[in-house]
């Protein structure tokens, strides 16, 4: 072959490469041009972009910015097609344009955490390559388009926290993608049954979240095909029937099971057998971490083999059911529990002392049951305990001194029991305590100064309805973050400490039904956030302080059944009071309906000597400018 022929062949080959390359670039540019127009159509539907996320979607100096450089846009390696749109959390407002359906190479579409309204475009069903679709936390309305079932490559679907309604399309779960790993339709207004039939095989599904909808009927047995399920959340619906024992027994990877606030107990006649069978099936869930089925009116007892559940369990919430019987000591085998909620049931018996083995407990709710006996001192051996709620039971005996060991304790609620003895001064060591409620017991003695000076109290202190006596400790003034103090219905005596005026965050103060004497301190007027004040049924004296009428925050006031004297003003809080709030003070007079009337000098008119006729000149008292004069 001659040299000239070889050069000619090489030249032709190079020209062919150039032509192919130019053709490819033109084709790519043509594809991107169409995709650019579709994205601009989407932009036109956005009416608010406060973070300027779409500012780069356009021209710069008269030249188009390359689509692949637009904010939230990602292209493939050849930069010839848009494969991802991620505009999540950009505060965008508007509607979702159907033009996005032209982006047929799209793999990810994320518009979550914005303010999009309107319907989900059914045209999106043509995005046959799509793997991830997230429109969660918007304000989208209407039905879920059945056309989404055409997305056979879809792995992740999140439409949660919108305003969607109607039924879940059966085709979405049965004829749609068999690759589903994650489905979230929660926090909408979806209704009807969960349309999962026996032939449906979501075998790859690991997350199914349908909570807070209006779904009804049984949990479909076909869900047992999803043996890889890790997270099942169906709470806050209207589901009924038996607990899904046969379903969960086939889910060895299950970690989170939420069935609270449904109707499982109302339609089941199996009672305790149903509850025992369910716990028995859960034994197979060796990875279970959180279990909640509160608010279902379930009947039965806690079986002893509850202690055979996964040792990985961290939270159990069985509140608001009809569970009776005692708390099995074997529950202490679940030593990794951080939350145990058995409140609002029909439990009786005593708390097993073995509870001290549950050293990781942080929150314990046993309130509103019929538990009795003494409060176990073993609670003091649970170092991380931050909340202990034993309220409204039948506990008796003294408050254990061992509770002072709980350095992390933030909320202690022992109200509504039959506790006696005194308040342990050692509770003052619980320096992280934010709520202390010992009300409605039979606790006697004085209010320990060590407890009164707990500056950590941020929410409320309630010692009402006990047998406490002695003066209100001055140390109470150190609670400068507390919002409410209730010492009512005790036998506190002495005067109201003026130092209470330094509890600057206080909104509610109730000192009623005690033996307090002296005046109402003017320093209480320093409480700039005070909304409710009740000092009724004491032995308080003197005139009403001026701050009561000038306070701009005070909404409720009760000064009845004391020995206050003088004129009740007709301004401020007093214009809305009724006789109930001021009665029982013989020395008070004023314009509140039913009260004794006042002379011009502020003394009380004898009502028997005051009569009215059509002519004021013939009356011993006259009305002038809304004030009664003698």
Q: How would residue 15 be classed by pLDDT, with cut points 50, 70 and 90?
A: very low
Q: Residue holding tokens 């109730």?
A: 510
Q: What is the pLDDT of residues 293-328, one digit of tens each?
A: 999 989 999 999 999 999 999 999 999 999 999 999
Q: What is the CA radius of gyration of the chain?
A: 36
Cβ distance 618 to 598 under 8 Å? Answer: no
Report the alpha-carbon distance of residue 465 to residue 52 in Å, rounded.
59
Q: What is the pLDDT of residues 243-277, one digit of tens each?
A: 999 999 999 999 999 999 999 876 545 555 578 99
| Sequence-ordered strand ranges (E) for 279-368 | 290-292, 299-301, 315-317, 322-325, 339-341, 346-349, 363-365
Q: What is the pLDDT of residues 611-622, one digit of tens each?
A: 443 333 333 344
The overall average pLDDT reported for the chain is 89
Average pLDDT over residues 137-157: 97
Alpha helices (H) along 381-475: 449-452
Q: What is the pLDDT of residues 541-575, one digit of tens each?
A: 999 999 999 999 999 999 999 999 999 998 999 99
Please provide the size of the chain in residues. Answer: 630
pLDDT at 26 over 70: no
pLDDT of res. 445: 97
pLDDT of res. 611: 41
Report the alpha-carbon distance of residue 334 to residue 312 in Å, rounded.
8
Which string of DSSP letters, residue by residue, matches 353-379? Answer: GGGGG-TT--EEE--SSEEEEEPPGGG
Cβ distance 249 to 273 under 8 Å? Answer: no
pLDDT of res. 630: 34
pLDDT of res. 198: 83
**pTM for the predicted model, two decimal places:** 0.87
Q: What's the angle, vertex CA 178, arms to CA 175 and CA 183, rounded to 5?
A: 90
Q: What is the pLDDT of residues 51-106, one digit of tens each?
A: 999 999 986 655 668 899 999 999 998 889 999 999 999 999 999 999 999 999 99
Q: How would residue 599 be classed by pLDDT, with cut points 50, 70 and 90?
A: confident
Q: What is the pLDDT of residues 220-248, one digit of tens each?
A: 999 999 999 999 999 999 999 889 999 99
Our measurement of the distance from residue 483's CA atom to the centroid of its chain's CA atoms, rounded to an integer in Å, reads 20
> Which residues face 467 on adjacent strands?
444
pLDDT at 18 over 50: no
Cβ distance 475 to 499 under 8 Å? Answer: no
pLDDT of res. 598: 87
Cβ distance 621 to 589 under 8 Å? Answer: no
pLDDT of res. 2: 56
């Amino acid at each position: 072959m001659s040299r000239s022929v070889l050069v000619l062949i090489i030249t032709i080959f190079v020209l062919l490469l150039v032509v192919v390359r130019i053709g490819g670039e033109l084709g790519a540019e043509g594809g991107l041009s169409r995709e650019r127009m579709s994205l601009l159509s989407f932009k036109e539907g956005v009416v608010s972009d406060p973070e300027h996320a779409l500012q780069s979607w356009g021209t710069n100096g008269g030249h188009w910015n390359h689509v692949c450089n637009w904010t939230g846009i990602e292209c493939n390696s050849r930069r010839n097609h848009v494969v991802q749109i991620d505009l999540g959390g950009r505060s965008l407002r508007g509607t979702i344009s159907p033009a996005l359906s032209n982006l047929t190479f799209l793999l990810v579409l994320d518009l979550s955490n914005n303010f999009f309204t309107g319907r989900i475009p059914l045209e999106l069903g043509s995005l046959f390559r799509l793997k991830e679709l997230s429109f969660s936390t918007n304000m989208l309305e209407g039905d879920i388009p059945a056309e989404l079932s055409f997305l056979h490559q879809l792995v992740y679907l999140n439409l949660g926290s919108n305003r969607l309604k109607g039924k879940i399309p059966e085709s979405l779960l049965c004829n749609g993608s068999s690759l589903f790993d994650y489905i979230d339709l929660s926090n909408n207004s979806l209704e009807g049954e969960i349309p999962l039939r026996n032939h449906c095989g979501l075998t790859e599904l690991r997350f199914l979240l349908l909570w807070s909808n209006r779904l009804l009927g049984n949990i479909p047995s076909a869900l047992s095909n999803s043996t890889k399920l890790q997270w099942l959340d169906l709470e806050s619906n209207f589901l009924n029937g038996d607990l899904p024992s046969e379903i969960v027994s086939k889910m060895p990877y299950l970690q989170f099971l939420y069935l609270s606030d449904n109707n499982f107990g109302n339609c089941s006649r199996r009672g305790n057998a149903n509850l025992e069978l369910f716990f028995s099936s859960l034994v197979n869930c060796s990875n279970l971490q959180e279990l909640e089925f509160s608010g279902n009116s379930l009947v039965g007892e806690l079986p002893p083999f509850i202690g055979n559940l996964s040792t990985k369990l961290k939270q159990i919430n069985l509140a608001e059911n009809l569970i009776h019987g005692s708390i099995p000591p074997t529950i202490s085998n679940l030593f990794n529990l951080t939350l145990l909620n058995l409140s609002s049931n029909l439990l009786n018996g005593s708390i097993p002392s073995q509870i001290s083995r549950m050293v990781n407990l942080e929150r314990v709710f046993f309130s509103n049951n019929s538990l009795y006996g003494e409060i176990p001192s073993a609670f003091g051996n649970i170092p991380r305990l931050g909340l202990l709620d034993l309220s409204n039971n039948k506990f008796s005996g003294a408050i254990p001194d061992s509770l002072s060991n709980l350095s992390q304790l933030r909320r202690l609620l022992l109200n509504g029991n039959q506790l006696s003895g005194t308040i342990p001064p050692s509770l003052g060591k619980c320096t992280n305590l934010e709520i202390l409620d010992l009300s409605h017991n039979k606790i006697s003695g004085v209010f320990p100064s060590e407890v009164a000076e707990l500056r950590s109290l941020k929410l409320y202190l309630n010692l009402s309805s006990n047998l406490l006596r002695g003066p209100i400790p001055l140390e109470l003034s150190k609670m400068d973050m507390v919002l409410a103090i209730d010492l009512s219905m005790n036998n506190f005596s002495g005067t109201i400490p003026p130092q209470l005026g330094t509890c600057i965050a206080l909104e509610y103060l109730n000192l009623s039904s005690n033996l307090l004497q002296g005046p109402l301190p003017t320093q209480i007027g320093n409480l700039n956030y005070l909304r409710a004040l009740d000092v009724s049924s004491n032995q308080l004296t003197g005139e009403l302080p001026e701050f009561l009428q000038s306070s701009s925050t005070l909404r409720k006031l009760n000064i009845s059944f004391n020995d206050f004297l003088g004129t009740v003003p007709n301004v401020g809080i007093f214009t809305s009071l009724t006789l109930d709030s001021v009665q029982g003070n013989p020395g008070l007079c004023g314009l509140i309906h039913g009260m004794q009337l006042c002379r011009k000098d502020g003394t009380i008119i004898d009502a028997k000597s005051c009569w009215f006729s059509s002519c004021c000149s013939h009356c011993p008292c006259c009305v002038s400018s809304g004030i009664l004069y003698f």
